[in-house]
Structure 1
């Protein structure tokens, strides 16, 4: 195969790669818009549940405090990406978790990539599950992790539950947020507490427990959607950089193709000239012999 043919074959394969990268970037952009569109509603839902939970505090004689299961370890829920091509998204979260975790913490990992990453770093994982890739899949993922949490809390294995996830900031780099889920942040809820206790038909303790479970579900749902938004923003940026790099490579190959084609043309012309010169010289020698 000539150099020109090799370059043209390389051009075709790189062009296909750029098309694939462009499609992945478009998909990441659509998923990012989807999560951004859903986030305001998810946040309002979490705020509404927090306000409802705060209204039950006056009904409780002894609200849950941080001393309830003081001897049990802490559970930390980490929200990683399920798929790749996200740049340093997972590494940043893993690094932040390494700084915040203690050896006895129980790790609940959402995201296959994160579970693999932490296992490679020698971290023991108590529970893991694939991370939702669409907003519609977030509730089921959150239900599974909360079911596991409540089962372990009932057995006295966990004293405190926190979540760590990436939050995307408009016009800035994403930040890693650490959020307390259980026990309740009474200081934060007290600010939302109404002046008078609400009218209710359910048993106050039962009502409080139901709203507390809904509060944890709402906070975790918000964390999952925030993580998905940040993940897709990271993938969109990574695919944008890859698209630019491949485009530059294509420009270089096109320039090399033009040079190779010109070299072939020049070589063909030289061959023609050399052949014609040799033929003319041969005819001259034949005439001399005659």
Structure 2
């Protein structure tokens, strides 16, 4: 049975841990509120923009070819996992790693066997774990988390678009957590390039009578690069909100567990203290009786 001193040390240690987890929860809650607001603002815009592009694509001629939607034989693949720079956020990072491994072993098994799957990591956790698992992490953009804004995100999106246009990669896939609420994140593996546009009968069914100047092909060619950057920015905001929500939930559970552990330790301490007092009383009574005899 542990001594009173050992139990006191554990109580102080758990109290310190609870203070840390409680502070981290409050910090994440403040950041989560801002990230949640950003998501609520950008989602309708991106959805509407994508809807207009998809509908207009139905009016294009069949021989119209857009460089961002060219479907090529997927010989060279780039996977972009979006994780966090710090841990202590539950299964947030682990789910990203699992999904990347699933893509490499199932969806792109042949390309992976030929060493034709590269990884551009955003977040130190993905970079560190995927490197340790033997995957080909060719580059990282961990510095992005210092300033997540449209300008910085669009630079990375332009880098991905240029790699696709120059045929360095035939397919670019984003792996990230989509925000649902503070406790739930949905794992997504989303094809970023080539951009998937409706074709055939699906495209004709979506045609809407828009008035476009100067013409639809010019408009599509002009808008899609900016639309891709905006979509990538949305993905980053989704991941950011998911991270803060996951960390806030994780730290809330950790704080509750620490409180529960403190109650158990305090009870254990009281029992040990009562036992020690009882032992001392018995020793005193025994000594007094021995003196009388």
Cα drift, residue 209 of structure 1: 3.9
- Paired with 1:179 and 1:22, the residues of 2 have a C-alpha distance of 35
Cα drift, residue 72 of structure 1: 5.3
Q: TM-score, normalised by structure 1?
A: 0.81
The 1:169–1:33 alpha-carbon spacing in structure 2 relative to 1, beyond 3 Å, is same
Is 1:249 the equivalent of 2:261?
yes
- Paired with 2:51 and 2:214, the residues of 1 have a C-alpha distance of 15
CA RMSD of aligned residues (A): 3.2
Choose from 129, 133, 155 the match for 1:121: 133
The 1:172–1:193 alpha-carbon spacing in structure 2 relative to 1, beyond 3 Å, is farther
Choose from 78, 86, 90 the match for 1:87: 90
Count of residues in correspondence between the two structures: 277
- Paired with 2:32 and 2:171, the residues of 1 have a C-alpha distance of 32
- Correspondence for 2:20: 20
Choose from 282, 285, 288 the match for 1:270: 282
Choose from 97, 100, 117 the match for 1:97: 100
- Correspondence for 2:178: 167
- Paired with 1:32 and 1:163, the residues of 2 have a C-alpha distance of 22
Choose from 63, 66, 79 the match for 1:64: 66
- Paired with 2:268 and 2:242, the residues of 1 have a C-alpha distance of 39
Q: Which has the larger radius of gyration?
A: 1
Ranges in structure 1 where 5+ consecutive residues have no aligned partner: 282-290
Choose from 180, 194, 200 the match for 2:191: 180
Aligned partners of 1:55 and 1:198 also within 8 Å = no
The 1:257–1:40 alpha-carbon spacing in structure 2 relative to 1, beyond 3 Å, is same
Aligned partners of 1:81 and 1:90 also within 8 Å = yes
- SS of match in other structure, 1:63: coil
Aligned partners of 1:35 and 1:228 also within 8 Å = yes
Q: Cα deviations across residues 202-240 of structure 1 (Å, max 9, x unaligned)?
A: x964x5444222111111111111112222222223223
Cα drift, residue 67 of structure 1: 4.2
Q: TM-score, normalised by structure 2?
A: 0.80
Cα drift, residue 192 of structure 1: 6.7
| 1:102-251 alignment, distance < 5 Å | 102=108, 103=112, 104-130=116-142, 132-133=144-145, 137-170=148-181, 173-187=184-198, 190=203, 194-200=208-214, 205=218, 208-251=220-263
Bigger CA drift: 182-191 or 216-225?
182-191
Cα drift, residue 131 of structure 1: 6.8
- SS of match in other structure, 1:187: coil
Bigger CA drift: 6-15 or 251-260?
6-15
Aligned partners of 1:49 and 1:214 also within 8 Å = no
Ranges in structure 2 where 5+ consecutive residues have no aligned partner: none
